[in-house]
Amino acid sequence: MTTATIQSVSGPVVKAERHGPLSVGEAVSVGPMRLLGEVVRVSAGHCTIQVYEETTGLRFGDAIEGSGLPLSVKLGPGLLGNIFDGLLRPLRDGGDAVHYRVKPLVEPGATVTAGQRIAEIEGLAKAQFALAPQNLSDAELIWIETGEVTESDPIARVKTDDGQEREIGLVQHWPVREPRPVRRRLAPNKMMVTGQRILDSLFPVARGGRAAIPGGFGTGKTVLQETLAKWCDADVIVYVGCGERGNEMAEVLHEFPELEDPRTGRPLMQRTVVIANTSNMPVAAREASIYTGVTVGEYFRDMGFNVTLMADSTSRWAEALREVSGRLGELPSESGYPAYLSSRLSEFYERAARVETLSGQKASLTLIGAVSPPAGDFSEPVTSHTKRYVRCFWGLDRGRAQARFYPAIHPLQSYSEDAANLAAWWTKRGNPNWRAWRERLLVLLEEQANLERMARIVGKDALPPGQQVKLLCADLVGNAFLRQSAFSEVDRYCSPERQMAMLGAIIQFFDMAEEAVAQGVSPDDIASAEFYRRMSRMSEEIGEGELEKFQDLLGQMEREMAALERSGADAV
């Protein structure tokens, strides 16, 4: 039934005369091509719609039909391993209908409730679960499939309280802008291990946490996100590419399917869903894509998985928001972005959480958004508003990137509010000193900035030995610990145990070096000792599975330091 007729079209924005009821947020089909749109404004006799597909060819007077439902996406077992557009329509031909093998987890006669895992879907690269619909209250299971089904077949039938029978399928439709319900939120006190030392040891993110990676052009956002996708200990990765340029997105689409999951040796795509939007795809679909991504993330979280979503980049998403807002004739706010930029960012980041699912599992959705501020200026609106909603801020620094110091995360421009909750996690993992060691490193790095400034003015040799040794310690932290190449066979992943051993060695070095300098040893002599050279290279020379070599290194340090102290004393 025609609910409205087109009066004007401007890019993705369609204004129409309304003949029937339409509500804001309702999905509509527009014109003879039945393009997908969403109502964004309703007034007496009129409505405004943003269209998610190319609007070329729409004409004055074309019909618009309301659906009565909010903009939703189809969630099902075919998501993992595939590539979709911003509205979750497959970008690759799915081929013939896939058959899934279903193994029931409940028996006829049992009571089934909303969100419950009722069957395991077997035969996929990664086992998944069929969930009871979210709007089902206690119902009796009458029948459940035990063989093979396609996405369109029912897998179970239930009898609800009012005696009605209802079929449950493999597929669910869910409105993208609405968070999926959970039983309760849990404290974010488990760390998401990334294998990147500067993150796990200095600026850790909790499972269910929110992090931003702001960085100017070429500072390493994409490499860092790819490294995280490969190495973080998530069960499922959702990658939302709001591509800057078509060819960059094409690279991602080409590269991602070829990446290997280093733990299993299988293609990384088997645990990944890619949602892609290039700048030449309709701008409104880009705006919707991050909500689509979060909805997919929540769907896998509800199955009981730990999910990590990466959005690259939220700046391009904000530009889409700005473009659509401009066409809607809204009053622009900072830098032309609409006044609701901030609330939209919060709607996105607020959906990160560690939860107990309706089915009773502990699961999480962690959100990591890259931001590409123009000219690397972190005070621009997208970065500054993002900062209000994330708990971890991993600021990439152009100077570090130019010096090829990777990852180019600047320790003085970054922070983690999750760190306070994660000391207990590190203690359980065998490092009760983590909090104290971390603080010591951060204080040292802060001091380093001041001392370097002073050294530039008066010359390094004019600094007192106590300050020179601090600079030596800070250099060691930079070269041996913070620097970590994503392309090094030995060092691209650093387990928490190896991080702990390295940090322990560094802290021991601090203590011994300070003591030695107090005894009259010159910092230059420490810097030229053989053990110091070995320490500076320990990240490359001591790999995973060789942790006993740290003992050997510490032994050498003790011997050489003692010798330096003795020769210092002899000289006196």
Ligand X SMILES: Nc1ncnc2c1ncn2[C@@H]1O[C@H](COP(=O)(O)OP(=O)(O)OP(=O)(O)O)[C@@H](O)[C@H]1O
Residues binding ligand X (CB under 6 A) = 215, 217-224, 372, 406-407, 485-487
Tell me how far, at minimum, the Cβ of 142 lies from ligand X, in Å: 53
255/446 with CB nearer ligand X: 255
Query: Which are the contacts of 399, defined by CB distance < 8 A and separation ≥ 6?
Result: none
**Any known ligand binding at 109?**
no
- Distances in Å between the Cα of 100 and the Cα atoms of 121, 174, 182 are 6, 21, 27
SS3 content of the chain, % helix, strand, coil (to 5): 40, 25, 35
Tell me how far, at minimum, the Cβ of 86 lies from ligand X, in Å: 19
Radius of gyration of the chain (CA): 28
- Distances in Å between the Cα of 516 and the Cα atoms of 507, 521, 526, 528 are 14, 5, 9, 14
**Any known ligand binding at 220?**
yes
Tell me how far, at minimum, the Cβ of 428 lies from ligand X, in Å: 28
Evaluate the CA torsion angle 494, 495, 501, 506 in order and state its sign.
positive
Token pair 């904000």: residue:
318
- Distances in Å between the Cα of 398 and the Cα atoms of 20, 22, 324, 372, 374 are 55, 49, 31, 12, 12
Q: Which residue is nearest to ligand X (CB)?
A: 220
Token pair 């399917």: residue:
257
78/395 with CB nearer ligand X: 395
CA–CA separation, 415 and 437 (whole Å): 16
Tell me how far, at minimum, the Cβ of 215 lies from ligand X, in Å: 5
145/312 with CB nearer ligand X: 312
**Any known ligand binding at 221?**
yes
217/446 with CB nearer ligand X: 217
**Any known ligand binding at 222?**
yes
Strand 63-70 and strand 236-242: the pairing is unpaired
CA-nearest of 301, 363, 306, 356 to 182 is: 356
**Any known ligand binding at 123?**
no
224/392 with CB nearer ligand X: 224
C-beta atoms surrounding 208 within 10 Å:
26
Tokens of 226: 């790819």
Tell me how far, at minimum, the Cβ of 529 lies from ligand X, in Å: 29
Tokens of 136: 């089902």
Tell me how far, at minimum, the Cβ of 394 lies from ligand X, in Å: 12
CA–CA separation, 474 and 446 (whole Å): 10
244/418 with CB nearer ligand X: 244
268-292: b or e for each residue (b if 16 or more CB lie within 10 Å)?
A: bbebbbbbbbbbebbbbbbbbbbbb
**Any known ligand binding at 308?**
no
60/487 with CB nearer ligand X: 487
CA–CA separation, 191 and 200 (whole Å): 8
**Any known ligand binding at 215?**
yes
421-440: b or e for each residue (b if 16 or more CB lie within 10 Å)?
A: bbbebbeebebeebbebbeb
Tell me how far, at minimum, the Cβ of 404 lies from ligand X, in Å: 7
Tell me how far, at minimum, the Cβ of 235 lies from ligand X, in Å: 24
**Which residue(s) pair with 399 in the sheet?**
none
- Distances in Å between the Cα of 196 and the Cα atoms of 119, 229, 230, 449, 499 are 36, 12, 11, 23, 9
Tell me how far, at minimum, the Cβ of 70 lies from ligand X, in Å: 33
27/309 with CB nearer ligand X: 309
**Any known ligand binding at 31?**
no
189/485 with CB nearer ligand X: 485
Measured distance between the N- and C-terminal CA atoms of the chain, rounded to whole angstroms: 99
514/540 with CB nearer ligand X: 540
20/374 with CB nearer ligand X: 374
Binding-site residue positions:
215-222
Binding-site residue positions for ATP:
215-222
